[in-house]
Amino acid sequence: MTEYLFVQVGVVMVIAGILAILAYRLKQPLIIAYILTGVLVGPGVLNIVQQADVLSGLSQFGIALLLFIVGLNLNWRSIREVGPVVLIGGVAQVVLTSSLGFVIGSALQFDSLTSLFLGLAFSFSSTIIIVKLLSDKDDLDRLYGRISVGLLIVQDVIAMFLLLVLGAWHSGGSVTSIIGGSLGKGLLVIIALWILTKTILPILFKFVARSQELLFLVALGWCFALASILFSLGFSIEIGALLAGISLAASGFSHEIESKIRPLRDFFLIIFFIMLGTGLALGNLAQLWLPALVMSLYVLIGNPLIAWLIMRFMGYHPRTAWLTGTTVAQISEFSFILLGAGIAVGLVAPESIAVATLVALITITLSSYMIAYNEEVYEKLAFVFERFGLGKHGENKRGKPSDYILFGYNRMGKRLLPQLTKLAGETLVVDYNPMVIEELALNGVPAMYGDAGSEDLLHFVSVAKAKMVISTIPDIMVTLEMLDYLRCHRARGTIIVTAKNADEATRCYQHGATYVVVPSLLGGDHLGQYLKAKKIAKSGWQQLAKTQKIL
């Protein structure tokens, strides 16, 4: 049996490798290759996968490790910055999407309860797929990436709440008592984790960090232990793994832990996507293709549109709203769990699972392309979005041009602003996070909401007449658009921009940048200056550390 399982997994991985090579050669998202592998090895085609339960269990490790790494990288300051749009927007998106989904389900002749459950199920987006694709694009830490992850967390909390209600319904218990008990347990878990984070965990990981192998093993053990404990308390494995990562985010070892775990995560995630493909047994296709197609179009178009409208209503730029909206155009693993729970208690028609399966195949495939190429699509449709204007902050009337313009306030921009304000002349900050603009306005700092890649905004702030333009935005497309505008308008001021790597820096210089900041290179040069000065004594470095203003 063990040998057969080994051969079975081996054959599956070989097929996945071949299709992945083909997808990479054609510049397609690799997730598509994994899902197609599942379709091929599943019962509908080659029927290679026999021990589906074993592979399904292995795929659960991939989900847990993915969310563990997400937790390791969660910056709570960044989460607080997008908190209002995440909370308000997340709840509003689920309510609006569910309501419209109910109307569409009723129009497709489903009964009322089935329509309600389909609307709710299709309002949730896949954490695994979104985080994987954003991670591949290195966009998790961008504004729209942080908002997307926050929306997913809100959706997962709502999904768990609904599952608790269904569990109470099925068991005949009191919904109020079950929800109250879960909230109480959740509060106790958070308090216990906070205490561990302040006491035992720092000591433990400082000790195990002496050995790379030991650090890897203990980190994995902590992830699985906390996820298992919370699962036994009635929470999901996903939430447990996420909290395990969050508890280690400030430990100082998060980067090293992530680098060790990432290859393991990728292997198990491949199995997850393959298993997702094997579940796409498309029986009764003749009867279900029409509702599945209609629901798929709704998820692919309706979900992004609703998210876009909510974010525009809250003051975000069309670019940010668009990029965020494209991430929610597929259904979640929670969609199947919720529908299955509804079927178990007799509230939902059994064929809803088959509809959801077809919708998953269509939306996961197409949304992978939407996320992978969301910026390119925005550039093609920018003229449409510009009809909606720059937003409420961009409508302010300005007087004379500013002497210094700083694009992007977070991170590096916050460090630069105090120095810029000491120079003779006015400094203007431009950012497309409305909460940042409000914060600066309260502190009396001239600030404007807008997108550095918009010609209308660049013209409005007279960027070509500024003595110095500094952009801390690491988005190469936005940077090149701004540089092209400045070159066309014969800007004579100093232009300082930011790039992620040397290749992007070269492109920026070719487009007219005066100086390009590459954070990794700049940090190395800065450290090298101290080493050149022979500051090798520990006391000297400790004194230097006291001069840092780490927020």
pLDDT in tens, 122-160: 998 887 788 878 887 777 767 788 788 888 888 877 877
What are the structural domain ranges in the chain? 2-385, 398-517
Place of tokens 């290859």: 263
| Statement: residue 220 has pLDDT above 80 | yes
Whether pLDDT at 50 is above 50: yes
Element (H, E) at 515: strand 515-517
398-517 belongs to CATH 3.40.50.2020: no
CA atoms within 13 A on the CB side of 47: 2
In whole angstroms, what is the distance from residue 332 CA to residue 156 CA? 9
224 band by pLDDT with thresholds 50, 70 and 90? very high
CATH architecture of the domain 2-385 equals Up-down Bundle (1.20)
Tell me: pLDDT of 301 over 70: yes
Q: Average pLDDT in the 315-326 region?
A: 82
Amino acid, single-letter form, for residue 186? G
The secondary structure element, H or E, covering residue 369 is: helix 351-372
* pLDDT beyond 80 at 98: yes
Helix and strand element counts for the chain (H, E):
26, 6
- What pLDDT does 547 receive? 60
Q: What is the CA radius of gyration of the chain?
A: 25
Among 105-119, 372-386, 412-426, which range has the highest average pLDDT? 105-119
Confidence of residue 392 (pLDDT cuts 50, 70, 90): very low
> Which residues have a Cβ under 8 Å from the Cβ of 189 and sit 6 or more positions away?
230, 233, 235, 243
In whole angstroms, give the CA distance from residue 363 to residue 328.
10
For the ranges 208-212, 332-336, 340-344, the maximum mean pLDDT occurs at 208-212
Region of 411 on the Ramachandran plot (φ > 0 left; ψ -120 to 50 alpha; else beta): left
Predicted confidence band at 538 (pLDDT cuts at 50, 70, 90)?
Answer: low
Average pLDDT value for residue range 43-48: 77
Residue 281 has pLDDT above 70, yes or no: no
In degrees, to the nearest 5, what angle opens at C-alpha 187 toward C-alphas 183 and 188?
Answer: 120
Its pTM stands at 0.64
Residue 282, pLDDT > 70, answer no
Residues 419-460 have pLDDT tens digits of: 888 887 888 998 877 677 777 877 888 888 777 777 767 877
| pLDDT of res. 80 | 59
Structure-block tokens of residue 64: 């847990």
